[in-house]
A and B are shown apart, each in its own frame.
Chain A
Amino acid sequence: MTTMPDQSNHPKVGLFVTCLADMFRPSVAFATVKLLEAAGCQVEVPEKQTCCGQPAYNSGDRATTAEIARQTIEAFDGYEYVVGPSGSCIGMLHYYPDLFEQNDPWKIRALDLKARAFEITQFLTDIVNFDQIVAQYEGTITYHDSCSGLRQLGVKQQPRQLLSKVDNLTLNEMEEAETCCGFGGTFCVKYPDISNRMVSNKTQYISDSGADTLVGGDLGCLLNMAGKLKREGKSIQARHVVEILAGMTDTPAIGEAEYELAKAL
């Protein structure tokens, strides 16, 4: 007797790559794909996607944001889920319905996209109940809760729950893990010295935690904190949570070179 493959167990997922993963750290997007496939999803990467539109949205340019929103909505038409390795970019997708008037047909489509869009750790934990993490990490990490993921999407326990399945990994919580790192998109270049004050507080808490690795779920924040840690000459590494969960830590950490990886191993 043959059975039909159960579609619901192999949901079709459109990967929202996000600009920073695309450009700075493709390994984060590959790790996301690996985790999604391990969870039984069929992953595709829609060609039509670009940026979520945050730079325009945060600068008050609603018209441009709406144009980009329409493009993103179309790009992800037909996928059961839309998943990305960033609370901030997925959070932006959740703002799309606010961009359209009540009787605009795009509003319904935006609401529909919102209902299907998830941050990766949230998706694995809350939607597909996946916890078969096969990975190990020799080290002590500390976790930074990025603002949009935490406050907009409610990502807090999910990454920690998944990280608890990683062999040999220890989590040391830092003080003020939920305080903004000062990245804030264009904020960090528009108000650089205020941003610097904020990220300096953060790197202090990170090193006080005694961890050797900083882990987080948003590349913007991670580039900011890793960049500061490096400038301060600290040896703490920074990695996106999916790299650890997917067991893909064979690439140099954020802002590090090959030889530093060799040193660390």
Chain B
Amino acid sequence: MQIKSPQFKENARIALHNVELQEALGQFKHGFPVNRANAIKRLPEFDDLRDAGRDLKNHIIQNLDIYLEQFESKVIENGGHVHWCRTAEDANKTILDICKQVDAKTVTKGKSMVSEEINLNDYLEANGVQPVETDLGEYILQLRGDHPSHIIAPAIHLNVEDVSEAFHTHHKRPKTGDPQALMKEAREVLRKQFVSADVGITGANFLVAETGSTIIVTNEGNGDLTQTLPKTHIVITSIEKVVPTLEDMSLFLRLLARSATGQEFTVYNTLSSGPRRAEDQDGPENFHVVLVDNGRSEMVGTEFQEMLRCIRCSSCMNHCPVYGAVGGHSYGWVYPGPMGSVLTPKMIGIDKAAHLPNASTSCGKCEEVCPVRIPLPKMMRHWREKEFEKHLTPKAVRFGIAGWAYFAKRPALYRWLARSSAWFMQKMAGKKGRINKLPLAGGWTDWRDMPAPQGKTFMDQWQAKQKAGE
């Protein structure tokens, strides 16, 4: 996927003028967030679960190597393979090699943001293997040559007409605007793919160290078919997904479903524990787990370590007023919203992603709703600090801050600055009480009036009163 994060401002401007997108975003904010709030009302111990989730994740990150090795040895014991991949390239190559070993032409895929992160589809296609997305949203995007704008509802930016158009073009069937009919159509087309695929690739929501299992949760069941029908099942996931036990996994499943969609539990929770055994009715003959690092282990021990707690529930973006205004594509890469504003700079570089952690009011809503209590605004500020240290902060901002600081460190001068600014703005406002065009503040007055200062500054008035002995 092409990186468009440096153009965040332009992306956002286009998104703000896209009527259909704005409509979709408007409806979206009455969906997941409302359901989440209701689900939490029904579970009084939700906040205690969040504390437990946060603490457990912290423990796991401290002992990541131990749990990952335990997971690996269990997978091997079960007859599967584990591949450690430091970079996106390593992971792509590893997956292609497995596909080549079994002479695969077609692979079906369940939804996986890690595969988006490493750009797996393009890589496979370029090397003669045809990937077919089986999650309905991802499938629609693939037909359109589009990318997810949300981590669990990838096609949230589209409407029924867009889907109908895409299906009509690719399936060569009569057009329909009925969502049920479209779903049925997708199901029919995808059934054939499930049966004929040589390899099934899924992501994983969690990896269970004690059993060597991987789990994916879906509401469509497509993940089950992707992983049970083909002869080879590849799980592509990242290293921070490991949890010690099945019991621990269920804690996170409870947090995940409620935080994401407001469900008590996701509809399909599918565990994979190695290839099919002699007594099994179905299942793949080969089972591979591709563990991607891609910069994550470097976050351990830094100010960004807490980000590794993320369970990809999407709650932060569902509640973010900036995401709600500009949608996921504006962020210009795989991960949108607050979690993306922390992760993306790590993965593509702060020089390219600088807008993301800056385009936030630090309102704190994301932290308020994060099931594992990640202090997202603080992490975004750490990126701003990194940007500042590396002298990447735009010149206008740097000079602005330096100029302002010169005064702020000198109280008498600061008084003078406040006094003259108040005087100047009052003159600008005249008798109106507000200014509708202010030099150097076009960002403000293009959209709203600037209320005028009342008159003399408080400090001047206070001192005068003190002198007068009031």
Contacts and interface: CB of A to CB of B under 8 A. Distances in A.
B359 A191 contact: yes
Given A60-B384, A184-B363, A187-B361, A227 B422 contact: no
A259 B433 CA distance: 10
Interface residues of A, number: 72
Interface in A218-265: 223-224, 226-228, 230-231, 251-252, 254-260
Q: Interface of chain A, helix or strand or loop or mixed?
A: helix
A227 B361 contact: no
B170 interface: no
Interface string A53-76: 101111111101001100100000
Nearest to B407: A50
A218 B408 CA distance: 20
Contacts, number: 201
B363 to A, nearest CB: 4
B387 interface: yes
Nearest to A198: B321
A257 B431 contact: yes
Contact of A255 (B325, B414, B449, B462): B449
B451 A24 contact: yes
Contacts of A60: 381, 383-389, 393
B12 interface: yes
Contact of A50 (B414, B452, B461): B414
Contact of A51 (B325, B383, B408): B408
A193 B387 contact: no
B48 interface: no
A151 B364 contact: yes
Interface string B424-449: 00000001111010000111101111
Contacts of A48: 411
Nearest to A252: B433
B462 A180 contact: no
A227 B450 contact: yes
Given A147-B362, A180-B321, A55 B404 contact: yes
A259 B432 CA distance: 9
Contacts of B458: 17, 21-22, 26, 29-30
Contacts of A185: 361
A255 B397 contact: no
B418 A23 contact: yes
Interface of B: 9, 12-13, 16, 321-322, 325-326, 358-365, 367-368, 381, 383-389, 393, 397, 401-402, 404-405, 407-409, 411, 414, 418, 421-422, 431-434, 436, 441-444, 446-459, 461-462
Task: Please list the 10 inter-chain residue pairs (A to B) with the smallest Cβ-Cβ separation, ordered nearest first.
Answer: A184-B361, A60-B384, A255-B451, A257-B433, A189-B443, A60-B388, A227-B448, A180-B363, A26-B458, A192-B443
Given A50-B411, A61-B401, A223-B450, 15 more contacts: A23-B422, A24-B451, A30-B458, A60-B386, A62-B388, A147-B362, A192-B442, A192-B443, A197-B325, A197-B326, A226-B451, A227-B434, A255-B451, A256-B433, A259-B431
17 contacts: A22-B457, A22-B458, A23-B422, A26-B456, A50-B408, A50-B409, A50-B411, A59-B393, A60-B383, A68-B408, A147-B363, A148-B362, A189-B444, A190-B397, A201-B321, A226-B451, A258-B433
